[in-house]
Each structure stands twice: as C-alpha cells, then as structure tokens.
Chains A and B, each alone.
Chain A
Amino acid sequence: MVEVNLWSGLRKFTDGAEVVEVEGRTVGQLLDGLVAIHPGLAPVIESGISVAVDGEVITGGRNTPVEPDSEVFLMQQIKGG
C-alpha cells in the first residue's frame, strides 16, 4: 500500500482524509485506486493534476513506478510560460 497525500481542499471528497492508502505500483494505478475508493475525486483527476513522487513533480506520467515507501503528493496542475 502507498500513502497518497491530497491537498486539503479534496477532503470533502474523501470523508475528511488527507492521506489515503492505495494499492498500486505505478502512478496510474494509484490514481485509479484513489477513484475506486473515493469516486468524488474522479472529476478532479480528470480535469488535470500533477503528482509528485519522492520529490519529483510528474505531469502525465501514469507509468511512473512507485514503491510502497514512496512519498506521493497530488498537486495542482502546473503550466509554464
């Protein structure tokens, strides 16, 4: 299981939880797992987010591997100039 840290504004979709434990070996599996546990997160994830794995901000990299002790954060999607 991997601990996924959410931003606090998402608590309303997760019964108040800011950290959700999810089964998965890739970022994509974690995101799918999150939606399976808390379907209210689906529109948030579909509208675009960034994910940080062990300090690396990943945009779109669903196949990025994660380890059980990886530090995973959901973040606002970042656009650059």
Chain B
Amino acid sequence: MAKDEITKDFKWIGTTPDRPDGLDKVTGRARYGADFNLPNMLYAAVVRSPHAHAKILKIDASKALALKGVKAVVTRADLPTGLTGEDLYLQENTLAGEKALYDGHAVAAVAATSQLLANDAARLIEVEYEVLPHVTDVDKAMAKDAPVILPDCADHTVPEGMGPNVARMIEFGRGDLEAGYAEADVVHEQSYTTEATHQGYIEPHAAVGQMGSDGKGEMWVCTQGQWFIRKMCSAVLGTDPAQLRVTPSEIGGGFGGKTTIFMEPLPLALSRKAGGRPVKLVMSRSDVLRATGPTASASMDVKMGMKKDGTITAAEVTFRMQGGPFPGASPVGEALSCAFACYDIPNLMHVGYEVLANRPKCAAYRAPGSPMAAYAVESMVDELCRELSLDPIDVRLKNGVKEGSRASYGPKFKTIGLAETLEAAKAHPNYAVKLGPNQGRGVASGFWFNHGGETSVSLAISEDGTAQVSVGTPDIGGSRASIALMTAETLGIPYENVRVNIVETGALGVNEPTHGSRATFASGKAMWEAANQAIKEMCKRAAQKWDIDPEAVTWKDGAAHPAGDNAGQFEPMSIKEIAAEMGKTGGPISGHHESTPSGAGPSFGTHVVDVEVDPETGRVTVLRYLVTQDAGRAIHPQYVEGQYQGGAAQGIGWALNEGYIYGEDGKLQNSVFLDYRVPVASDLPMIDTVIVEVPNPGHPFGVRGVGETGITPPLPAIANAIHAATGARLRALPMNPPAVLAAIKAMA
C-alpha cells in the first residue's frame, strides 16, 4: 500500500510539526541530568578498581574522612546483605564486595561540599588489592582452565563439563539439519567475531539523590525508566520502593544503556549517611566507557545450505557471548531468536552460551543481540549468493518470511513488511547506481521483535479545551511529538493544544522504560484508550445539556454532535465549550489507561550501502546508504526517518571503527572518545530512507516500533560491500583500516 493512501484519512498523523520540546533543547533551557541542583547539595566521587580482577583486602577511608568538608563515605559494608539473583548482581555492580570484577568496578564513593574536594577525598581512600588472573576474551573465558569469575555461576541449562564461566546454555531448532544440507547444492560454514561497543549516548549518567535515615527519598536522574530506577535502587539499598520518588530529567540518548542502574544508588546511599543532604553524582566519559554497560562481544559459528535457485535448505548457529562478570546480562537469547528471523527455513538449529568475563556488566543496546547475529548470518547469506551468482535481494525475497510464515523462534508471524522493504530497496535509484573501481555494494536485512510492556497513561481536559497527557516513558526520539499527534487526531483538536508531560513515579502507575521500541506504540495505545474515555464523558455532558441519551451523541472534529436526525437538532458542542462548563456539569474530565499491551508488531528493514575502499590504506568511505524499514504507520515521518538514520549511523560506527580494546593487563585502553571513535558527520553520507508502511493490526493507528531494527543490517551490509569492492571477506569487527588492509594483503 502506498504511503499516501494510508495517511490521507488523517488530519494530524503523518504530518511533521516541530517537536514540543524543540525550543527548550536548542536554547539550552531543557534540563538534563547534570543540570539539576538543590540547596545544601553535596558532590560525589567514586573510587574505581584499577585491576581487571582482584580480591579487595582492605579499604581505609580515614584520611578522606579527615578532610574538612567530607561528609560521607560508602563501601559495600554500608549496603544490606542477603540479596539474591539479579538484585545481588545489581548491588555487586554498584559497589564491589569481596572482589573487583573488572577495570573500573566501583569500590567506594565519597560525598563532600564541592566536586574538587570529593575528587581529592576519593584519591585519599586507600584500597589494598590482591590481583587475580583475569580473562576478557569470550572464547578464552569459555575454557575449562579460565580464571573463575563467579564460583558456581552455571544455571540449570549448562551441561556437565563446561568451563567455570559458562553461565547459561540455550538450544532450540526444528526440522532435520542433515536432510536439509543434503538437499543443498552449496553448504558453507564460517566463524565471525564482534567486539563490544558502547551505546555512546552523548549525555553521561547523572543523578541527584536525597534520602533520610527513615528511608524516604527523592531522585532526579537521567534515565530511560524512572520506575526501574526506583525498583532497582531500592533493592540495592534495602529500602521500600514506594518511599522513593524518581523524576526523570531530559535525556541525551540512552539506546538501552539507561534502562538499568550503575551508579544511581550511590547518591542515595551517601545522602542517607550524610544526614539526608542531597548528593549529586555525574560520571565522566571515561567512567561511562569503563563502568557502564556496553553490549556483548561475540564469537559466532554459522553453517548454511543453499540450492542453486537460492532456496535456503538448512542453517545453524552457535553463538558465544560475554556479558561481563554477572549472569543474565548478555543478549545471547535475543541474538539466537533474531538470527534467522528474516528467513523461512525448514531445518534450523540455534545453540548459545552466555559466558562471564572481566568486563563491565552489559546493558541493552538497540536491538540487543540482533546486530551481531545479523553480521554472522547476513554475511553468510551474501557469501552463498556470490558463490551462486544470485542477486542478494532476490534471494531474500525468495526465502523471506511473510504473514503466516513460522518464525525461526517458533510462532507464526502476523502482518509483517519484510518483502515490502526488499521491494522498496530494489526499486530505489541507489540500487541502480553504477559503481567504479574499488567500490562495492552490500545488502542486508534485519529484524526486531518490538515490545509492549507495562504502561500507564492519564489524559486531562483543561478548562480551555486543551489536553494534558501524562506518560511515563521518557522522550528520547520524539515521542512527545508522536503522542501529541495521536492525541490531536483522537480528540480532533490542534496539535498545539496538546501538552505531553513525562512524569515522575508518584504521578502514574508503573511504566516500563522507553525500551524495546515501545514508547510510541504502548504509550500511544494507552493514550488512545484514555482519550476515548474522556470523549465518552464529553459526549455524556453534551447529552445532559441537550437532554438526550448519551448513546445518541457522537464525537467528530473536536466536538459533540447529535448522532443523527433522530437524536434531535442541536448545534455541535465543541471541546472548548464542554471544558469551560465542566466544573458546573459534574467536575473535571479525564481518562486513564493501564495495561501491558500486546500486539507490538515486529519491524523488518533492508539496507543497501555502497563503499569505496582505498587499497593502499584500507580506509572505507561510505558513498551512499539506503534504509528501507517498515514503520507500520509513521506518526511523525521526520522522527521515524531520524530513527532510521540514527540506527544506520551507529551501525556504521560499530562496523568500521568502534570496539573495546583491552590490554594484556585487562585494562580498557580506549576509554575516551578520542580513542573510542564514534562516527562524526564528516564520516557519513546523507542516509537515504524509505518509510515502508504495512500497518500493524495491533495498534489503533497501525504503529510499529521503529527505534531498534535500523542498527541491525549495517554491520553485514558494510562487510558485504567491502567484499564486493575488494574480494576480501572480513569476518571480524571492527573493519578499521588496519583490518581491511591486512585482509586485502592476505588475498595477495
């Protein structure tokens, strides 16, 4: 269906007004985490382990505490004992217990009357370590003789005889692999690796916390999810979550990395110990890279069989992913489920291992696990296409999933738009551009599930007929604008007459964070329910005035109308008129909705990239880049386009430059942006987009989440393009100039 056909019945949806928070953000008025201050506030600094793995023998804070102006020091001894499972791992990551488990692991924290004093005091805290053997490489961490990071970390899924750091094993599949390979004309088997990368959000973690000895507290924090902050901090501190009120600041990016806690309990713990004075803690970039969650590093094997006509007959993967020193952090389960999600393959097997290593605790990063899986699988598909001289888009169309296909992870797909993204890519002018010497084109597709999640929204009609919408999902990518557009559409009022507020934990029921590409989907769906409650009440007020049955009133264009001639002849009553009288006609008018919505339709995308490779230096220049992705319905097309471009930009960085570099001593070597190189504007071409719209039947406006799928295809698409340009197949990331040059030389 063409986009014009879908959007023509809407007045507001599909338009591109300025974002409501735009002026505040471009003029500096918007308040981010570090902008928040309170009277009598203290400043915090953290002491971090300089060792990748070390026993903590002694912590002596006496010299720090002797400094005038130092008000509190906290160590693990100040936190409650007896926690288990994920709560224990969150606490252990907040402050190390018996052992420091990675370079940068927090060991102690101090609060003082100035930041300089706090920094000085942190340097005076003496920590005595016994350095232990460490391991940071995922394959080495799996070995039976690897240093033991957490004793007995294996859960019930791990078979006897595995190495001590294997925490979980996952296995699923279907069909008969051997029969499938026997049908194939070509069977290939290869291994691929990806290095850990960080979300690279521009705003470091920052929080102001205040907590009294009674356990009551408040926090102002940069986060994707204020309720998760409340729950997790309370678990770590042993306090009652209902007594902690958390207000989110504006957020300078998160990409999954701000769905959990790292340092956030520390200001609260310090405040509690400093007589309830508020404490501010802002991480440096180096702290962010060393001690907040990047994604996993991965080591992956893929085997696939294909017929000469392009039919994929069988495929299997074995993924090994390290997620830092605690179980449950790596996205290996998601990676396996995404690996073959684009394909309808009768014979499949997936095996995955979660492995512990002396690295920071992983956090979610945009479509967690899916980019690594795509790098391995989509590279393999490309290898087979080239061997059989098949067009990569045609092969994906031939094998691609569609409505009714059984997903590689089990259930059948409902309405999905993979084929439409492939057709859009094939029809785009970029796919027909003739390439020159040392240039090559790569194609890859990608997938993300999308998510509903716990959601609570309220909507209030103001006295002037405007609407106030309260949502609990922080606005990262323009969700205020998209929710305002959907509200305007539902109520039939101008976009400017809607104000969307991101509220604190005391104002609504529980909300999951802005994660899983869910904010526009889930908060929008809940808003629609809430707005319809308010509409029902407004129709009732009009019916009372007209002295007719409420069922005989309908809502249209922002006003109550008699439903038909039988209802009587009355002039429509606008929302402004109804709102002006509401205090005298029964009181305030509002609506609210709480649910865990299902129906988050998956999103598929296809990317086409052209690169030029300098054969003398190995430098890769991205010449042109195309994203086609199914948005279901683009509520605000510019912000949808922004998500596509952002995902591609991050994926290009992951493919070409980004990666954690550890020395032999287990210390992170590139903990600043000068050395950890994210792409800048001059590294990127204009990223072209095509918004495919295959409406999601699970949403009143057809919305699918769009935030995550876009980072999935760039890794393999660029690897495939480099191969096309040079003949060299790079099976390890990042594909930086030395790696590309070495691959070119290896061919010679």
Mark A residues whose CB is within 8 Å of B: 5, 7-9, 40, 43-44, 47, 52, 54-61, 64, 71, 73, 75-81
Contacts and interface: CB of A to CB of B under 8 A. Distances in A.
A8 B173 contact: yes
B661 interface: no
25 contacts: A5-B410, A8-B173, A9-B171, A9-B172, A43-B155, A52-B410, A54-B411, A54-B412, A55-B411, A55-B414, A56-B414, A56-B698, A75-B409, A75-B411, A78-B449, A79-B331, A79-B368, A79-B516, A80-B449, A80-B518, A80-B708, A81-B199, A81-B255, A81-B256, A81-B516
A64 B364 contact: no
B367 A77 contact: no
Contacts of B423: none
Contacts of A9: 157, 169-172
Given A9-B172, A80-B256, A80-B364, 20 more contacts: A7-B410, A44-B156, A57-B411, A73-B409, A75-B409, A76-B170, A76-B334, A76-B337, A76-B409, A78-B333, A78-B337, A78-B516, A79-B331, A79-B364, A81-B255, A81-B257, A81-B365, A81-B368, A81-B707, A81-B708
Interface in B501-529: 515-518
Contacts of A8: 171-174
Contacts of B409: 73, 75-76
Interface in B214-249: none
A60 B515 contact: no
B454 interface: yes
Given A8-B172, A56-B599, A81 B259 contact: yes
Interface residues of B, number: 48
Nearest to A80: B516
Contacts of B412: 54-55, 71
Of all A-B residue pairs in the complex, the 7 with the closest CB atoms, nearest first, are: A80-B516, A81-B256, A76-B333, A7-B172, A9-B171, A73-B410, A52-B411
Nearest to A44: B156
Nearest to B367: A81
Interface string B145-178: 0000000000111000000000001111110000
Nearest to B411: A52
A14 B30 CA distance: 55
A80 B366 CA distance: 7
A56 B711 CA distance: 23
B596 A60 contact: yes
Interface in B393-424: 409-414
A79 B334 contact: yes
B451 A78 contact: yes
A81 B195 CA distance: 18
Contacts of B169: 9
A52 B412 CA distance: 9
A7 B515 contact: no
Contacts of B334: 76, 78-79
A54 B366 CA distance: 26
B544 interface: no
B364 A81 contact: yes
Interface in B307-347: 331, 333-334, 336-337
Contacts of A7: 170-172, 410
Q: Which residue, A47, A55, A56, has most C-beta atoms of chain B within 10 A?
A: A55
B453 interface: yes
Contacts of A44: 156-157
A81 B705 CA distance: 11
B453 A59 contact: yes
A71 B412 CA distance: 9
B369 to A, nearest CB: 9
Nearest to B329: A79
B173 A81 contact: no
Nearest to B711: A81
Contacts of A5: 410
Nearest to A56: B598
Contacts of B413: 55
A73 B364 CA distance: 24
A78 B452 CA distance: 11
B600 interface: yes
A64 B173 contact: no
A27 B413 CA distance: 19
B696 to A, nearest CB: 11
Nearest to A77: B333
A43 B168 CA distance: 13
B642 to A, nearest CB: 16
Contacts of A56: 411, 414, 598-599, 698
Contacts of A76: 170, 333-334, 336-337, 409
A38 to B, nearest CB: 13
Contacts of B257: 81
B452 A59 contact: yes
Interface string B190-201: 000000000100
A61 B598 contact: yes
Q: Which residue, B157, B366, B414, B598, has most C-beta atoms of chain A within 10 A?
A: B598
Interface in B600-621: 600
B515 A79 contact: yes
Q: Which residue, A9, A43, A57, A64, has most C-beta atoms of chain B within 10 A?
A: A57
Nearest to A62: B596
A52 B518 CA distance: 17
Contacts of B518: 80
Contacts of A71: 411-412
A59 B596 contact: yes
Contact of B337 (A55, A58, A75, A80): A75
A65 to B, nearest CB: 11
A40 B450 CA distance: 30
B682 to A, nearest CB: 26
B410 A58 contact: no
A57 B517 CA distance: 14
A76 B257 CA distance: 21
Contacts of A81: 199, 255-257, 259, 364-368, 515-516, 707-708
Q: Which residue, A59, A61, A79, A80, has most C-beta atoms of chain B within 10 A?
A: A80
A64 to B, nearest CB: 7
A60 B452 CA distance: 10
A78 B489 CA distance: 32
Nearest to B409: A75
Contacts of A43: 155-156
A71 B404 CA distance: 12
A2 to B, nearest CB: 14
Contacts of B454: 60
Contacts of B450: 80
A73 B174 CA distance: 13
Interface in B431-477: 448-454
Nearest to A40: B156
B175 to A, nearest CB: 11
B359 to A, nearest CB: 18
B344 to A, nearest CB: 14
Nearest to A13: B156
Given A9-B169, A60-B596, A75-B410, A80 B155 contact: no
Nearest to B454: A60
Q: Which residue, A5, A44, A77, A81, has most C-beta atoms of chain B within 10 A?
A: A81
Contacts of B515: 79-81
Contacts of A64: 598
A74 B596 CA distance: 18
